Amino acid sequence: MRGLHADAGYLLYRLGLRSGQLFNTFLQESGLRLRHYAVLRFLATSEGALQRELSTRLGYDPSAIVGLVDDLEKLGFAERRPSPDDRRSRIVVLTDAGGAFLRDTDAAGRRVTNDLLGPLDPAERDTLHALLQRIADRP
């Protein structure tokens, strides 16, 4: 019988748990969680997104996106605006306060990542990132 550590899926699961724990600890003071942070990071790379697009791109349940955006709106980090393409739809955009929050947390986020990937040298980190990106980009 194979051991758990021989199973790449299990190791990815464990790495995901550890990453989530580290990021949630770092975000604890702000009242946000990793899921909120992911929405903000996505919005920082776009001109805004429909909630269903956020759900699809981030892999979160649509009902979870509603709550996350509600939380971010209450903090003033994101807002819903009418879509220029469809008046019935609303897009979610990053506010100036949300952008400032991300800038203020950049260094701490890098420290979390560095802690998580501490055993790897820079070339191994680049390789891991490229491999994970290739897996994540698969439909």
Residues 78 and 43 sit within 8 Å (Cβ to Cβ): yes
The pair of three-digit structure tokens given for residue 87, joined into one six-digit string: 């008046």
3-class secondary structure per residue, 10-27 = HHHHHHHHHHHHHHHHHH
Amino acid present at 21:
Q
Does 125 score more than 60 pLDDT?
yes
| Residues above pLDDT 70, as percent of the chain | 99
Length of the chain, please? 139
Per-residue confidence at 1, pLDDT binned at 50, 70, 90? low
pLDDT in tens, 8-36: 889 999 999 999 999 899 888 888 999 99
Per-residue confidence at 78, pLDDT binned at 50, 70, 90? very high
